Amino acid sequence: MLAGTLFGAALTLATSLLTGRGLWRKAEWPLQFALGAAVLAHLVLALGWLGALRPAVFAAGAAALAGLSLWRARWRTKGGETVGRPSAWWLLCLPWAAFLLIHATGPAVQPDEITYHLGLVREWLAEGRFPARAGFYESMPQMAEMLFAFAYAFGGAPAAKLVHLGFLAVLMALIVRMAGGGRGVAAMALVAASPVVMTDAASAYNDVMLAFYALALYRTLECGETGRAGLLAGACYAVKMTGGVFALAALLWLLARRERPWRFLAGALVFPAPWLVRNALLAGNPFAPLMNAWFPNEHFHASTEALLRHNLATYGVHGMDRLLETLFGGGVLGGHLGAGFLFAPLLLWGLWRAGRRAALPLALAAAVAALPWLANAGTRFLIPALPFVALALPAPLAWPAAVVQVAALGWTPPAGSWSLRGWSAQAQPSEPAVIAMLNRHTRPGERILDFISAPTLYIRSAPMSPWGYVQAGRAEAALVRALTAAPGLMYNLRADWHTVRLRQIRLVAAEPGPSPLNVQEVSFEGATRCRFTATRHTAETPLAFDRNLTTGWSTWAPARAGDGITIDCPEPLDTTGLRATIAMAWTGMKLRVEGDGRVLNGDPGYTPVTPLNWRRAAVSAVRREGFRWILIRDGGGGHGAVAADFLARPRDWGLEGMAAEGNVYLWRVP
């Protein structure tokens, strides 16, 4: 197993370097590696589209790339650069490297790597292709996951982790090259000894990889290679969407220097293009899963995106508490930077000391790299800024910061802080009993309505979270609506008019509203022969005609004037009125009914709906969305109230086949 792990990681890293050497013969070897890894990742992407994600194909491709690169570049091409022998300072890194290597070769246990970073990779390799579905993580750029897939095919999850650790090693080499001498070693130690960097690098994440590409982009711009800088800028986006800030900042930098940006722009489109085109075709939004208000589509709800954005912006931690957790630890923000970065504000002194010439670009780059942290307060989102901060620190402060950083590694952070766990060959992710429960009761491919973020890497079924998949979001809404049934939740709308012959009827908002327009049911004589559309989320309009009050059509965002449902009939019908049920109406809501372009009733009547037990109807909606199981946790916040009601009234819900591990329950949807 260890041999396969080392082989998979080494093959991926070596192929990346050789490919880069063949494409960019005169560059420094870390920059060659950066370009080669990006090219290799996108070749894996092409193989996934062709349904050829197989180890034999990867091995043949690696051999072809290596042979072509060695033939073109050779290891000692005149004017180029060899990797050469490691300098003596590498000896100082051996204990640190051994510690991280041991953890990286162990089983995958970190939260995100066992859900989407490697859960998707396992699925791709099992199927030999990418699934044709639009989901939150499926829609993100996945350059890192392409490289993980290449290594995973030979050595499993540990090989993918080693690939990411390899990016940290190359990042450290690039830092030392850029700073030079002892100052470079100090800057390297400051970054490498950061607890959040160590944990991220020894896991199948992508933040250290993004930090490497950001620094490689900076170095390439220093070398005046604008075209290849564009390629690396595009690679930043392909690693992680937040990497787009580096491409924009580099473009502004070139414009400020009055340099022609056309080669940069052309290069910057190369690696993002496949992901943008894929999302445009599959999800109807090139920037999915974000910017859904700009690109309305059927696969993502703008309200879900807004809720995520609100929660991730602070994680509920504010002010001084946020600063302390970021520097010294805490479970909420997922790790800490380490005490050495207490020196970070002193880089301003470096600006003054260097006459604002040498350190200013680095300080600006650090500020740009920190921008995504304003949108997501997780400490990982600061990792791309750390190399720039370390390089911008003046020499008199670099070594003290590094010494404090290394010395603080012996300090135990508060319980719950994201950190490297004690490694053993039997190391498991949290709640292994839940994994066993899912594999015991569910079959491969069965959909699970997942309220706990199940570890997809280790299970055979298909968990789908409400915020990650639109189908799960609709199922969740039905359950919550049934649970919260109370007076004032829904209103019956009645709109009457004198008999008129019509082919089209529209129920629309007459004025914008502060919350979504939710139409649970619509009925009028002859509707079964008609076609239903809507101003948004047209695919959901049949839910407003299914005679189930827990489901319906919604704008999933604050209503605009004119939002609503349109009913088109194949031939004119004699009508005298329309009935509808509206959920969560806002004060002063004004709806109107139009027919063939004119207003039929601009002031409908409303009566409260008497709450009934809609629990079985909600479970029916869950099944209609394709879910056979519900995985939910009792207690605490989130969906704890739904779980508690499942336990208190299972017959009302009609759920069966319950299994439980601790406070996690698996319910079968009949």
CA distance 382 to 401: 17
Quote the crossing angle between the two packed helices 181-192 and 90-104, to the nearest 10°.
Answer: 20
Q: Which two tokens stand for residue 10?
A: 């080494």
CA distance 535 to 556: 12
Say which residue the tokens 């920037």 belong to: 287
Q: Where would I find the beta strands (DSSP E) of 399-489?
A: 447-450, 462-464
CA distance 79 to 62: 26
Closest alpha carbon to 410 in 102, 115, 125, 99: 99
- The identity of residue 114, as a single letter, is I
The pLDDT averaged over each successive group of 10 residues in the chain (670 residues) is 92 96 91 97 97 96 89 55 60 83 89 93 95 92 98 96 97 92 88 93 96 98 94 98 96 91 95 96 94 91 87 86 85 87 81 65 94 93 96 87 88 67 62 92 95 94 94 96 92 94 94 95 81 93 94 94 94 92 93 94 94 96 97 85 94 91 94
- The identity of residue 608, as a single letter, is P
Q: Tell me, yes or no, if the pTM score tops 0.75.
A: yes
CA distance 429 to 256: 49
CA distance 99 to 97: 5
Helix, strand, coil content of the chain in percent (nearest 5): 55, 15, 35
Residues 6 or more apart whose Cβ sits within 8 Å of residue 116: 137, 456
In sequence order, the β-bridge partners of residue 666 are 631, 659
Q: Is 629 left (phi over 0), alpha (psi -120 to 50) or beta?
A: beta
Q: What is the DSSP letter of 540?
A: G
Q: Which two tokens stand for residue 262?
A: 């056309």
pLDDT at 71: 76
Residue 84 buriedness (CB in 10 A; 0-12 / 13-18 / 19+): exposed
Residue 613 CB neighbour total at 10 angstroms = 12
- The identity of residue 131, as a single letter, is P
DSSP-derived pairing of the beta strands 564-583 and 490-509:
antiparallel
